[in-house]
Each structure stands twice: as structure tokens, then as C-alpha cells.
Structure 1
């Protein structure tokens, strides 16, 4: 019986698009591109997700790479970018329906803790019964160990759990552990709803 539905964050519950995030700041086209490359496309950004750098440590590295005129802007972006993403309200509305139907909802995401804490402390966080995040665990999907941490921490059975992610390699890793997997993009929401309904009826 399907009991647990596990959501990734980026491009599943919100639109992770550095260009759209940076559009919220007053930047010239050249500065927009420079900040995108220096911050969001950097190796340090991945190290934040891996838990090897804090956001503040990464900010200091970014500042060293940028001209002085962009130092304050870089600090502001690093502090405030989580509030600039667009959340998918339709997904969160569906989560409420799922919880009303008795499902448990969890998060499993490759993310730094600044964003994870922002989301989980926001109005959207109340939809989740728990979460496991790469920066805190120092493990990244599709490493099987991060999925196993979620299952163990919340006493979940793999065969009763569905994992939703925007990357096929991540849903495939969940399936290898016996979980259901669904590779998602926002235009697949109706397909995902049908899938949950189908596998729920099969058991």
C-alpha cells in the first residue's frame, strides 16, 4: 500500500531558475551573467549542496572573484535568493489533498541548508512530515545512502513510498531501493496525480 510521498525541491515544488531569481535584482545584463556564473554555476555552489561549504563561506569566495562594485549585491543575493523563487502552488494544493487522504509527505533534496530552512519554516513547510537534505547529511542523490537515511529516520518502507524528482538518475536510484519513482516536470502534474491514483488502487 502506498503510504508515503517524497518530494524533491528544485523543479518539483518550485521553479529553480537562476535567471529568474536574478531578475529580481537591479542588475545590468553583463552583471546578471557574471553573478550567475560566479554564484549559481560555480563549483562552490555544489559544495554548499554537498555540505562542504556553508553559504557564508561560499559568499566570501564569491566576493573575492567579483569586482568590488558587486560585493554588496553578491551578499544580498546569497542572503535573500530563497525568497525570490516561484513556488508551484498547484503542487502544494495537491499535497494538502494527499495529506487529507492519509498520505505522509516528506522532502528529499540536494540543497544547502539556507534554502531548506527557508522552505521548511515557511507556510509551505507545514505540508511536510519531515525531510532529509544533502548539506546536512553530506550525501548527495543519487547516492543510495541518502535515500536509506530518509527511510530509516522516518521508519518508512521502500515499497510503500514514492519518490518524485526532476532527474531520471535520482528516481532510478530510488527504484533500485524498491521505492516507486516518478520523473517530474510541472507540466506532468496531472500525469503524476493519475499515477498516484493508479498505484494506490493496485494495492
Structure 2
């Protein structure tokens, strides 16, 4: 029986435009897939380097002005449908499950979210979760197994009693290898608000 639910953030609650994001970066000469860029991208996502160091890297390597980089970097972030906020608030208020958020989120992106949503909405959303884990704050990232082990151990969760919801199969596969139940949600075809319909057999 599921007692704990761990949610991803992007494309689970806030909508993302990954194609636009890739295109905007490519227009600046930056490839997400480049072996040369992956270490800096991963380090930034884990908070191992500051936003200033991150921006400076691309200014020096690609001659990209700070403002253009930040605009392109945040182009992935879209809207937060009200029905999803209502869903997580009602789920939280029911007190039926322990709720957690676990997101590969960096400083620039969460800063944009806080500014776009404003304090009241961000605080209301964050307050729905027992723990709100952002990778740049805990210095771990999905799909590395240690991030799931960290969440389980820190909160005394039993893997078999836990459901993890994420839109990236690599992430759900990793969690599932530890015995965690998973839902690899497909954006555009499924919605987190359908949880108790899609995964009714788990509850």
C-alpha cells in the first residue's frame, strides 16, 4: 500500500517547453548534449557552482552576454495550471499520504518561478509538501541512485510503500531499481491530476 508520494516538479506541476529551450540554447551556440558542456550543466544543477560561475563559463566559452543566456535558460519554463495546484492542495489537506517534491532544479530556474508566481503562490505550493528537495540545495541529482536513497533514509520511508512520479524514464527506472513504485508520466498525454485513475491499483 502506498503511504508516501514523491513528485517531480517540471512537466508534473509546471509546464515545460524543452524543444524551445534546446533551440534557444542552440541559437547561442550551446549544445546540451556536448560532452564538454555536461559537467558544467550537472555541477550547476547540483549547486556545486554558483550562478555567477555558471554564467561566466558561457560568457567566456561562447561569448554569450549574461542577459541573453539567462533569457534562453529560462525559456523552458511555462505556466502552472490551476487544476494542479488545487489537486496537490486537496491531497495535502487530506493527510492520507506523506508528500515530497524532488526536482532537478537550479538556482536560475527556481528564482524565475518565485518571481513569476509571486510569494503567496510559491509558499502555498511549497507548503503542500513535507520536504521540498531541489537538487541545487542538496547537491545531488536524478537519476543517480544516491538521491533516492537520501530521500528514503532522511524521512524513514520504505521503498515498497513509496510512489515516485517523474516525466523522465531514466529517473523513474533508477528509482524503481530500488524497489520504489513509479509512474513515468507522459506530458501532453497524461496529467498528475489523474493519479488515482492511472494508478488506482496501487492505492
Task: Normalising by structure 2, report the TM-score.
Answer: 0.74
What's the CA shift for 1:164? 0.4
* Alignment size in residue pairs: 189
What's the CA shift for 1:76? 5.1
Taking structure 1 as reference, are residues 85 and 147 closer, same or farther at Cα in structure 2, changes over 3 Å only? same
Alpha-carbon separation, structure 1, partners of 2:160 and 2:67: 47
Any conservation in 2 of the 1:132–1:149 contact (CA below 8 Å)?
no
Helix, strand or coil: the match of 1:181? strand
Any conservation in 1 of the 2:100–2:129 contact (CA below 8 Å)?
yes
Q: What pairs with 1:1-203 in structure 2 (closer than 5 Å)? A: 1-17=1-17, 33-35=26-28, 37-38=29-30, 42-43=37-38, 44-67=40-63, 71-74=65-68, 77=71, 81=74, 85-102=78-95, 103-116=97-110, 122-123=122-123, 124-186=125-187, 187-189=189-191, 191-200=194-203
Alpha-carbon separation, structure 1, partners of 2:17 and 2:173: 24
Runs ≥4 residues deviating over 4 A:
18-22, 39-42, 116-121
CA RMSD of aligned residues (A): 3.2
Helix, strand or coil: the match of 1:188? coil
Taking structure 1 as reference, are residues 176 and 11 closer, same or farther at Cα in structure 2, changes over 3 Å only? same
Helix, strand or coil: the match of 2:105? coil
Gaps of 5+ in 1: 23-28
Taking structure 1 as reference, are residues 32 and 114 closer, same or farther at Cα in structure 2, changes over 3 Å only? closer
Range with bigger deviation, 38-47 or 106-115: 38-47
Any conservation in 2 of the 1:59–1:74 contact (CA below 8 Å)?
no
Gaps of 5+ in 2: none
Alpha-carbon separation, structure 1, partners of 2:54 and 2:31: 9
Task: Normalising by structure 1, report the TM-score.
Answer: 0.74
Alpha-carbon separation, structure 1, partners of 2:137 and 2:173: 23
